[in-house]
Amino acid sequence: MSAKDGPLDRYEALLALGEVNADSAQRQAAEKLQEMHDRLDGYRPASAKTGWAERFGFSKRAPAEAPRGLYIHGAVGRGKSMLMDLFFDGVSVERKRRVHFHEFMQEAHELIHEWRQSNKVSEAAEPIRPTAAKLADRNWLLCFDEFEVRDIADAMIVSRLFQAMFELGVVVVATSNRHPNDLYKDGLQRDRFLPFIAILQKRLEVLHLADGRDYRLDRLKGMSVYHTPTGEAADRALDLAFEDLTDGRPGKSERLAFRGREIVVPRAEGAVARFGFADLCEAPLGPGDFLEIAKRYRSILISDVPVMNSERRDSARRFMTMIDTFYDNHIHLMLSADAPPRGLYSGDDWGFEFDRTISRLMEIQSQDYIEAARSEVTEAA
């Protein structure tokens, strides 16, 4: 199909090929996205200055008025990312960007910090509007996957930042597990976040992707969770699982700010993260770090878990703490290891503690655990 084909055409083509099942709620969302596709054809905001004529005020082109955006929310596994793919690939906007909301806000914080470092004349100087102007110049259309606000640092600036970007003509299309009214639910100082909800509902049409079949759960049920031994075959299995869980997106490295330092995530996309054993258990991480990772990601893939013994006590202790934390937070886990769970520790100094880890490694492989982990995500949304 050509790049100009809209999301509805693309959705119907997938139906005809049998690559998706007929789903009335998905079709309704595709129709709404088609309307956005048509309204945004060739869109550029009034604030855009793309060439020498615009930059010096000589252009006679009349910039388009910013259309209202779209916010699609619904349960996990309903195909929101797939629908966003269909929209983003074909929409004709020169400066468009698809990005996870968490990554975008990290970039905004970095720009604010840079502005403050270069404008130290007055502590009262306001960095939000110049930051918004820089982001708006780069991104005329912003497409957010898994729109979510969990960080108080984000919650404190997001209202002013997005109000300024909307005034500059930025259009937003977003998918989320939550209705806007439930964003940052029970968060600290949520009253300061509430104006953002009002801005979203004014600037974006809100569409509920009605509950139905959890297509991703269907795929998860067919995946092996624990791969042994480690090696090429296990690595390939985790690669395929990551690809399936992220709808084919490759992911990239991320950094999570935590207590004045950073947790490095080697590869992540949306709510899916992939680590090596050494990244988590041979690094100076503790219970708080593992909890922060569990808050950010819902599916975690870990490769190359070795057989541990008393000479690797620190790694074994972190491994036990990590499994406890991820299990207690109902994380969907996939691992590759040098041995089955009962063979992962050869020492006798951990006793009951490692027996509990073995039990949990066995349980995460059950269909009941996988379904419960998915249910937890749905309830949280």
Summarize pLDDT for 163-177 with one digit per residue, the tens: 999 999 999 999 998
- Contacts of 110-116 with CB under 8 Å at 24 or more apart are 111/135, 112/157
- In the sheet with 252-258, reading across from the earlier edge strand, the strands are 226-227, 332-337, 299-305, 272-276, 261-269, 252-258
* 236 and 147 within one domain: no
* 223 and 287 within one domain: yes
* 355 and 317 within one domain: yes
- In the sheet with 69-74, reading across from the earlier edge strand, the strands are 96-100, 141-145, 171-176, 69-74, 204-209
The counts of H helices and E strands in the chain are 15, 11
Give me the pLDDT at residue 217, please. 64
| Extended strands (E) in 229-373 | 252-258, 261-269, 272-276, 299-305, 332-337
Band of the pLDDT at 266, cuts 50, 70, 90? very high
User: In angstroms, what CA-CA distances link 155 with 1, 149, 163, 183, 250?
Assistant: 40, 7, 13, 10, 28
Give me the pLDDT at residue 376, please. 57
Q: How many domains does the chain have?
A: 2
Cα separation, 295 vs 328, in Å, equals: 12
Q: Cβ distance 298 to 272 under 8 Å?
A: yes
Give me the pLDDT at residue 214, please. 64
Give me the pLDDT at residue 140, please. 97
* 172 and 106 within one domain: yes
* 201 and 223 within one domain: no
* 174 and 69 within one domain: yes
Give me the pLDDT at residue 47, please. 76
* 169 and 33 within one domain: yes
Lowest-pLDDT choice from 49-63, 201-215, 311-325: 49-63
Provide the CATH number for the domain around residue 41: 3.40.50.300
Does 1 reside within a domain?
no
* 240 and 140 within one domain: no
Does 363 reside within a domain?
yes
Provide the CATH number for the domain around residue 272: 3.40.50
Give me the pLDDT at residue 221, please. 65
Lowest-pLDDT choice from 140-154, 167-181, 192-206: 140-154
* 123 and 50 within one domain: yes
Summarize pLDDT for 292-319 with one digit per residue, the tens: 999 889 899 999 999 998 888 889 999 9
Cα separation, 73 vs 195, in Å, equals: 19
Give me the pLDDT at residue 21, please. 84
Of 186, 209, 232, the residue that ends a domain is: 209
Summarize pLDDT for 208-237 with one digit per residue, the tens: 988 766 666 666 666 788 999 999 999 999
Q: What percent of the chain shows pLDDT beyond 90?
A: 52
State yes or no: pLDDT of 80 exceeds 70: yes
Cα separation, 167 vs 133, in Å, equals: 10
State yes or no: pLDDT of 336 exceeds 90: yes
* φ/ψ (deg, to 5) at 61: -70, 135
Cα separation, 356 vs 342, in Å, equals: 11
Lowest-pLDDT choice from 77-86, 92-101, 112-121: 112-121
State yes or no: pLDDT of 52 exceeds 50: no
* 111 and 55 within one domain: yes
* 133 and 36 within one domain: yes
Name the residue range of residue 224's domain: 216-380
Query: What's the chain's average pLDDT?
Result: 86
Cα separation, 317 vs 284, in Å, equals: 12
Lowest-pLDDT choice from 96-100, 190-194, 334-338, 346-350: 346-350
Give me the pLDDT at residue 337, please. 96
Q: What is the mean pLDDT of residues 113-121?
A: 79
State yes or no: pLDDT of 49 exceeds 70: no
Residue 309's DSSP bridge partners are none
* 15 and 145 within one domain: yes
Other C-beta atoms closer than 10 Å to the C-beta of 349 total 11
Q: Cβ distance 267 to 299 under 8 Å?
A: no
Q: Cβ distance 373 to 332 under 8 Å?
A: yes
